Amino acid sequence: MMALSKPFLSKMFRRTWLLLSGRQLPAINIWDDYTRDAFALAQAIDCDRSSLNQPQQHPERVNPIVAQRCCNWYLPYFDNAFYGGIMTILRLAAHLHLVEGVRQRFLICGSCDPVHVSRMIANAFPCLSSAEVRALDSADALAAIPAADYSVATLWTTAYVLLKVQNTGYKFYMIQDYEPLFYPAGSTYAQAEFTYRFGFYGIANTSSLRDIYEKEYGCRAVALVPCVDKAVFYRGSPLPTEGPKRLFYYARPGIPRNGFELAAAALKLVKARLGSGVDIVCAGSAWDPSQYGLTGVVRTVGMLPYTATGDLYRSCHVGLVMMMTKHPSYLPFELMGSGALVVSNVNPANSWFLKDGENCLLSEPTASCLAETLVYGLENHVSLAPVRERASEIIEEFHGDWRYSMAKVTTFMHAPDFAHEDHLESRA
């Protein structure tokens, strides 16, 4: 997944600071790095009208016997099978294989070592150890893609690859965020947004994304209900109410949608207010607090093993998760399931799940407002127990059964022309 480069971001922030401080702006073009990346994407990722005009769905090519069907997954290269959206993709593939008997094949759109990728997949889901892995790294590899009953694009760049594939039955698009918002309004935004008009059936991770895909783009879709692994994310013993409180922050500098800059400014205010009374722990990626003026404010643990994240969450009184796009991420679900109080930013797209004062605390997107909310959550840990209890109940009742969620999706995949969407999320 391509993101804006760090040099681009640092120049943009410096220019904004100079503008607000009234200082003279240097003669630089802050969009140079974006232009370089967007120019490369515009040439590398393309389609013509003949590809757009060809029928995308061919139910007549789908084997009538489900257990004899095959599913081709089109994925970008990944280096962690336990990470967010990749794990959800593999979880669905595992369900299709184990429960439905559908054979799985993973096509990596780019260069990779198929043996290494296969090992990563098997480490996360052993039942997929026999699944074929191929690298689509040449014209010959693209021409030799095996036929499949189902084909699933999983990132906007892979949708362009699948658009041109003709030896398949149903084409699906697994949408786990509104990906155009990963970029400024420009060429790359347009390329990403256009993929929602390709005519693929949608597998949308949350009801918000399903509604966007159906209402704005006229495509039929099913909503995948996010769940948690209850063997990893469960409530532990009550935390101490005396002494320092622990605050967890999901920190990924350089990923704009996670609002790192606002959160960092807020955490400085929290530390200034509470001092040794708060222990701020960051995880999600490896970075150096000194590069962002956070020395003595936070400590980082980098990328934890999947099973260790639950232990961390259970040790925290409050968990801060920022999300500016149209998906809440899995962190709020996992933190709630582990008994922590979730604090996040107001985001109308995620209001179906995050409800202020009911199962979490929400804040306006300013450093002072975020800091005030975090301090309130930390200082009122005992009195906010009903909010944590309600959050835990919601996870247990509506987001604790991956099998039920996956069965709903696979029912749609088997007959997308006739499947009925029952809006499962509306129960929560």
The secondary structure element, H or E, covering residue 71 is strand 70-75
Task: Provide the mean pLDDT of the chain.
Answer: 91
Domains and CATH numbers, the chain: 49-227+401-427 (3.40.50.11090), 245-398 (3.40.50.2000)
> Taking the model in full, what pTM does it have?
0.89
CA distance 131 to 129: 6
Q: CB under 8 Å to 177, separation ≥6 — which residues?
A: 85, 205, 209, 257, 325, 326, 327
- pLDDT tens digits, 308-320: 999 999 999 999 9
Q: What is the DSSP string of 239-269?
A: PPSSS-EEEEEE--TT-GGG-HHHHHHHHHH
Cα distances (angstroms) measured from residue 403 to each of 72, 251, 275, 395, 407:
21, 30, 44, 15, 6
Strand partners, 279: 246
Decide the pairing of beta strands 361-363 and 132-135. unpaired
Closest CA to 278 of 391, 384, 371, 382: 371
pLDDT class of 29 with cuts at 50, 70, 90:
low
- pLDDT tens digits, 152-168: 999 999 999 999 999 99
pLDDT for 410 equals: 97
The secondary structure element, H or E, covering residue 156 is helix 156-163
The secondary structure element, H or E, covering residue 168 is strand 168-175
Sequence letter at residue 239: L
The 10 Å Cβ neighbour count of residue 317 is 23
Cα distances (angstroms) measured from residue 413 to each of 98, 152, 168, 216:
15, 10, 13, 21
- Is pLDDT of 6 > 90? no
CB-count exposure of residue 64 (10 Å: 0-12, 13-18, 19+): exposed
- pLDDT tens digits, 166-176: 999 999 999 99
- pLDDT tens digits, 100-123: 999 999 999 999 999 999 999 999
pLDDT for 199 equals: 97
Q: What is the DSSP string of 356-410?
A: BTTTBEEE-SSHHHHHHHHHHHHHTTTTTHHHHHHHHHHHHHHSS-HHHHHHHHH
**Which residue do the tokens 């150096």 mark?**
288
- pLDDT tens digits, 276-332: 999 999 999 999 999 999 999 999 999 899 999 999 999 999 999 999 999 999 999
Q: CB under 8 Å to 288, separation ≥6 — which residues?
A: 300
